[in-house]
């Protein structure tokens, strides 16, 4: 948090003139929207009517017809999910939605990451056959499941794939595929998470059933808007870009949660994370509910998370959410221990190299837990501002790695370059995108992987990575440090990737500081532009990020937030970056 030597600041550009936005918006908020590409009031219209029509999503009509026929004829449908929060919410949306549409027999299966790994594999198909399905529906996976789809087909089980990940050169031979990344250039929702794709499938299935007069007085047509709280949670948890389509879905889901119409499971997860549903925003889902849901998949079986989301009453939902909270605490303890071990190893490497650090850090310990390495990689990346890949032992002498990167270093491309240079002899499997990626390799190949990776990075950028670029919305004037503006920003979202929450940079005098919790820093600050004003501030996980200074003047990047304390609201600055001025 205080590594100013590798941080670059850039102010987000604002087009001139600003577009015409709704009357009554303060000038600063109009500038913030303009800087995020909002070019008119329509971009801030989050009514469901603004969603692109399902007919424009390639493959949806065929998949909906198959699913509708399965429902009408009473077929047994098995939903195969994934072990992360997007997969869990996708699974819950599929089960709740299909049952509401009249499906008589719907069950689910989610692979345990430690036994089966990701997606519909042939091994998982063998387990699925024990459920005697007539049809398999994949959610948040399947676009690369060539062998799994082939195994299911050989067993006489057709597969409908819904996914949002990038396809490979060829597609699996599924009965139907719904993926906005596949031949859907006319569809405006290419950034959908897996749960969003699943929601769109249900819209199509409902339309197909309506056309066949399936709904009657005794079997009324369901309102699928009841699923939008789950869609919002999965979309935020999967960190997909909040383009206009995703903002509509998230905004509608948040609206339902705030008025008490969220399902008991989502309400229970928010309660477990000490978030108030009536005031929930996207960050509460991302940093409160999602980690607790993800804990099940990281440490055990995501079925617990799915059952929490499927709970029909508050008592059972809260009981399961309590189990998830216990798992999340265990995850945090594992994470802290692994992070401390990683830091000790990095410090030893620095001493051996006269203070120099490799441009990309590879970390491994035979005692580490493979469900937590991604979080550890993220923490170390934040601390040292360079790409990090952390490994843990897996089955059969393999290592599972999870990496996090920084702007300017495309992690998946690096892994592909290693795979190409070693002619496929080192990495067994890999996948991901620019900022995050995963891989599997034999433990014996770890030194070779590390050597080739380091060599590639040095070829491309020398001994020093480009560091982190922090893009902000500039500095605030004294009058803009206000509770009212913080309220307007909080309510002006949903904010997230691609539509970032407004952040600002500034110079402050430190009146006081103290550690709260395990590693958070609580401060009282006076901005340089208003030296007589005292503002409450907090920097979460500041000690984890290396803050250890007693300086009386700091520069930082912060967000304006509303702190609710003992029934009162007050302005709070939330710092994402601190450094001695």
Q: CB neighbours of 226 closer than 8 A, spacing ≥ 6?
A: 96, 100, 256, 261, 263
> What would the pLDDT profile of 230-252 be if each residue is shown by its tens digit?
999 999 999 888 999 999 999 99
Rounded to an integer, the average pLDDT of 259-281 is: 95
Phi, psi (rounded to 5 degrees) for 579 = -155, 150
Surface-to-core class of residue 190, CB atoms within 10 Å of its CB (0-12 exposed, 13-18 middle, 19+ buried): middle
- Per DSSP, the residues of 57-109 read STTHHHHHHHHHHHHHTT-EEEEE--SSHHHHHHHHHHHHHHHHTT-SEEEEE
**Which of 96, 137, 103 is closest to 264 using CA atoms?**
96
- Total number of residues shown for the chain: 581
Spell out the residues 6+ positions from residue 270 whose beta carbon is closer than 8 angstroms to its own: 257, 276, 277, 280, 284, 285, 288, 289
Report the percentage of the chain scoring pLDDT > 90.
72
Write down the architecture of domain 357-469 according to CATH. Roll (3.10)
pLDDT for position 358: 85
Whether the link from the prior residue into 17 is cis, omega within 30° of 0, is yes
CA 478-481-485 angle, to 5 degrees, is 130
pLDDT in tens, 191-208: 999 999 999 999 999 999
- Predicted confidence at residue 351, as pLDDT, reads 72
pLDDT digits (tens, 9 = 90+) for 492-537: 999 998 999 999 999 999 999 988 887 889 999 999 999 999 999 9
Q: What is the mean pLDDT of residues 253-277?
A: 96
The answer to whether residue 215 scores a pLDDT higher than 90 is: yes
Question: Which of 93-102, 269-278, 283-292, 407-416 has the weakest average pLDDT?
Answer: 407-416
What mean pLDDT is predicted for residues 403-423?
Answer: 89
What's phi and psi for 385, nearest 5 deg? 55, 50
State yes or no: pLDDT of 22 exceeds 60.
yes
| CA neighbor of 292 nearest in space, from 237, 246, 334 | 237
Please report which confidence band the pLDDT of residue 300 belongs to, taking 50, 70 and 90 as the band edges: confident
Amino acid 2: pLDDT: 44
Report residue 375 as tokens.
């979080």
Going by pLDDT thresholds of 50, 70 and 90, the confidence category of residue 6 is: low
Contact call for residues 435 and 392 (beta carbons, < 8 A): no
Mean pLDDT of 243-271: 97
Task: Identify the band that residue 4 occupies on the pLDDT scale cut at 50, 70 and 90.
Answer: very low
Q: DSSP readout, 165-189?
A: SPP-SS----SEEE-TTSS-TT-S-
| Predicted TM-score (pTM) of this structure | 0.91
Q: Which residues make beta-bridge pairs with 512?
A: 524
Least confident of 24-28, 75-79, 123-127, 262-266: 24-28
Q: What is the largest CA-CA distance in the chain?
A: 78
Residue 549's pLDDT band, with cuts at 50, 70 and 90, is: low
Q: Which residues pair with 514 in a beta bridge?
A: 522
Q: Please tell us whether the domain made up of 4-35+473-580 is placed in CATH 2.40.50.460.
A: yes
> What confidence score (pLDDT) does residue 465 get?
65
pLDDT of residue 451: 94
State pLDDT tens for residues 452-484. Answer: 999 998 888 776 666 667 899 999 999 999 999
Each residue of 338-396: pLDDT tens digit?
Answer: 999 999 998 888 777 766 788 899 999 999 999 999 999 988 988 888 899 999 999 88
- Asked whether this chain's domains 4-35+473-580 and 50-264 adopt the same fold, the reply is no
Q: Is the pLDDT of residue 1 over 50?
A: no
Region 50-264: CATH code: 3.90.1640.30
b (16+ CB within 10 A) / e for 391-412: bbbbeeebbbbbbbbbeebbbb
Q: What confidence tier does 546 reach under pLDDT thresholds 50, 70, 90?
A: low
Q: Which helix (H) or strand (E) holds 555?
A: strand 553-565
**Cα 374 to Cα 370: distance, rounded to the nearest angstrom:** 8
pLDDT at 97 over 50: yes
pLDDT in tens, 382-395: 888 889 999 999 98
Whole-number pLDDT of residue 384: 85
Per-residue pLDDT at 40:
84
Which residue, 177, 140, 156, 150, is CA-closest to 75?
A: 156
pLDDT in tens, 27-41: 889 999 999 999 888
Pick from 249, 275, 280, 237: nearest CA to 497 = 237
- pLDDT for residue 3: 45
Domain ranges of the chain: 4-35+473-580, 50-264, 357-469
């Amino acid at each position: 948090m205080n590594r100013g030597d590798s941080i670059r600041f850039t102010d987000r550009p604002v087009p001139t003139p600003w577009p015409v936005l709704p009357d009554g918006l303060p000038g600063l908020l109009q500038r913030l929207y303009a800087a995020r590409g909002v070019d008119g009031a329509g971009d801030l219209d989050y009514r469901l009517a603004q969603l692109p029509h399902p007919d424009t999503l390639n493959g949806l009509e065929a998949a909906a017809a198959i699913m509708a026929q399965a429902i009408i004829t009473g077929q047994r449908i098995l939903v195969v999910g994934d072990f992360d929060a997007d997969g869990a919410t996708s699974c819950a949306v599929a089960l709740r939605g299909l049952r509401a549409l009249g499906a008589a027999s719907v069950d689910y299966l989610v692979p345990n990451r430690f036994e089966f790994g990701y997606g519909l594999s042939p091994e998982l198909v063998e387990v699925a056959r024990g459920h005697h399905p007539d049809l398999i529906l994949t959610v948040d996976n399947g676009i690369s499941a060539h062998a799994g789809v082939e195994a299911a087909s050989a067993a006489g089980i057709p597969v409908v794939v819904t996914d949002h990940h990038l396809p490979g050169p060829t597609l699996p031979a599924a009965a139907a595929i719904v993926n906005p990344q596949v031949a859907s250039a006319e569809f405006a929702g290419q950034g959908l998470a897996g749960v969003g794709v699943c929601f769109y499938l249900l819209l199509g299935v409902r339309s197909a059933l309506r056309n066949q007069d399936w709904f009657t007085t005794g079997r009324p047509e369901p309102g699928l808007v009841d699923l939008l709280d789950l869609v919002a949670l999965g979309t935020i948890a999967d960190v997909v870009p909040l383009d206009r389509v995703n903002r509509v879905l998230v905004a509608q889901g948040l609206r339902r949660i705030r008025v008490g119409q969220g399902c008991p499971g989502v309400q229970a997860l928010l309660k477990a994370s000490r978030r108030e549903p009536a005031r929930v925003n996207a960050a509460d889902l991302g940093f409160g509910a999602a980690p607790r849901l993800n804990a099940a998949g990281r440490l055990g079986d995501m079925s617990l998370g799915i059952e929490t989301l499927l709970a029909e009453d508050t008592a059972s939902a809260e009981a399961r959410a309590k189990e998830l909270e216990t798992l999340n605490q265990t995850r945090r303890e594992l994470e802290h221990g692994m992070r401390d071990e990683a830091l000790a190893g990095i410090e030893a490497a620095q001493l051996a190299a006269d203070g120099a650090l490799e441009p990309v850090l590879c970390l491994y310990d035979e005692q580490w837990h493979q469900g937590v390495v991604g979080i550890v990689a993220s923490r170390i990346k934040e601390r040292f501002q360079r790409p990090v890949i952390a490994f843990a032992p897996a089955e059969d002498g393999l290592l599972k790695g999870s990496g996090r990167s920084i702007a300017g270093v495309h992690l998946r491309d690096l892994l592909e370059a290693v795979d190409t240079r070693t002619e496929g002899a080192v990495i067994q499997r890999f996948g991901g995108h620019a900022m995050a990626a995963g891989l599997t390799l034999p433990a014996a190949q770890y030194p070779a992987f590390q050597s080739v990776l380091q060599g590639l990075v040095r070829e491309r950028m020398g001994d020093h990575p480009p560091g982190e670029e922090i893009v902000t919305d500039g500095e605030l004037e004294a009058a803009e440090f206000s509770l009212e503006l913080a309220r307007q920003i909080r309510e002006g979202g949903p904010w997230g990737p691609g539509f970032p929450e407004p952040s600002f940079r500034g110079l402050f005098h430190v009146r006081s500081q103290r550690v709260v919790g395990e590693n958070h820093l609580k401060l009282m600050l006076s901005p340089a532009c208003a030296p007589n004003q005292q503002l409450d501030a907090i920097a979460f996980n500041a000690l984890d990020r290396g803050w250890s200074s007693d300086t009386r003047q700091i520069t930082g990047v912060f967000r304006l937030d509303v702190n609710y304390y003992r029934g009162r609201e007050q302005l709070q600055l939330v710092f994402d970056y601190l450094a001695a001025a």
